[in-house]
Chains A and B, each alone.
Chain A
């Protein structure tokens, strides 16, 4: 069974990007995923699937969106939004989107890359970058160790080179299973390096954001990552290399107020929470109660803050089309454009 494979963490930390054993499947009509392709990528022979969602989500009972995963080793789960019973394997095939109501479950960083990049093209960079505890913040190291074990990641973000429909790109994704993908030194450094790499190598950059905000345990240093990544976006812009920012659930606070909202084009998954200040912070600081559920992708689209909302199944094709409009890859490899 796919959910009984060895966990990624058993591969040991600092492993380079995994080689994907599944065959390169040609992408379906218009680059959209056929259910079969999706399944082969997400579930079947993908060692990444060995990372048991059950174990991961079991450790975060506060994560209300993990309902499907709360049944241990369950083949069936309930959609958080519409309550429909979902066959796990079918849900994976549907890229973790409820087939009844379209609810988008969260996706781990490696899964995200796996369903977006051309097969067998992703080469991870900076895989060995690990978090420190610069403030000697209480309980930080325990939490890091817990989520490193849970996700098989050293921190909440991975990036690397790959191809998207044959076009070389740099691509990165956050993993909300790791300390809610809060931005600390590692995330900030990796995002900045990805941007500098994209500018220097002249390859477009695609970042999938998800974040609870700044990583409080790194204090003021985490706040500075906002300035660092924003400055790096500016340099990427000066190099005239496109940066596509994709917002996924949840993109909030320090990340939403830095690199995530600075994309040349900003796309968002449907129903993702996208907001500046979390309800708990607002209620605490302003002593007011918020109307729930206001800050979504759709809200941000309505107010002009994102360019388009793209269902997961269409994301790859949409990114490809957007790049087609913004980017002409150098004709000869290695040749500088005029």
Chain B
């Protein structure tokens, strides 16, 4: 009997809803190994299976639930900020430290070239293996991370460089030491300052847009979301754990994810972001270079448009962009109000 095929790292991480795909994948690998070992050609069968896998993927990915989107956004193989810095940008120079307390590896900042033109880049960074995950604090930035990002963004504004922010964080760090150093103040200050930085800012949510941790670097002129990213006011599990609507039961995260409308299409429909950037079939992690190409096009195109605006118009539009978000009922004035 043949040993179970060992899958490559890229294929080792299948999400629950991808189970049929995983089975097909194992069959394909078995056939390929058979071909290699026995010299008997099974390429026709492999091609047929691959085609079946492709159509099945299309079918599965055309009807993803919000919770499936959450799992995709958190996929451990998903490209992170530093991956996109390699794939999209050239000549990345990372700048460290907030000049106040320390350097936060969970939020990277620096300068790079996009199509040859200098831009500042700030972005959350998660880790790929356990050691790096701990080093990057699972992408949960601390106050010094937000302050470093703001410092670099001020540099960009000072020297007339546009800013690109890549958002991918489960949430801001919230443990005691973060509170002691003012995590709330750092996020609030970033939002206030970013609302008026006199240079174009393009934001892309590339994975998890996790509440305050995300918005702390996500105030800008053009907000894009990758197709399988999420943007949420609270992790769905956290919402389920808190609200009696979900029985205060964290395991009802999937219900909360649906109610919170966290997936990119819903967030676009709510008018909170400007664009959804398509990802390769199966998600960005199946083909990072293709995902990067689409993201690069979106970043360059939106920056190009923004550069044509005067600073005054740019800042007026940025203020209005956030100012108008909100849905409420306001009866026509009956003279009760002054």
Contacts and interface: CB of A to CB of B under 8 A. Distances in A.
A38 B182 CA distance: 36
Contacts of B211: 214, 223, 254
A303 B262 contact: no
Interface in A128-182: 128-132, 134-135, 137-139, 161
Interface string B144-183: 0000000000000000000000000011101110111111
A208 interface: no
A232 interface: yes
A304 B235 CA distance: 29
Contact of B215 (A16, A186, A226, A281): A226
B189 A220 contact: no
B191 A258 contact: yes
Contacts of B182: 261, 303-305
A259 B337 CA distance: 24
Interface residues of B, number: 64
A228 B192 contact: no
B234 interface: yes
Contacts of A220: 231-233, 260-262, 267, 270, 272
Contacts of A200: none
A232 B233 contact: no
Contacts of A214: 211, 233-234
A234 interface: yes
A238 B179 CA distance: 28
A206 B116 CA distance: 48
Interface residues of A, number: 72
Contact of A261 (B178, B184, B338): B184
B328 A185 contact: yes
Interface in A102-141: 123, 125-132, 134-135, 137-139
B267 A123 contact: no
Contacts of B334: 128
Interface in A285-309: 285-286, 288, 290-291, 294-295, 299, 303-305
A319 B216 CA distance: 30
Contacts of B184: 256-257, 261, 276, 305
Contacts of B270: 134-135, 219-221
B9 interface: no
Interface in B228-257: 231-235, 237-239, 241-243, 245, 250
A226 B259 contact: no
A226 B234 CA distance: 13
A199 B241 CA distance: 40
A232 B191 contact: no
A282 interface: yes
B219 A134 contact: no
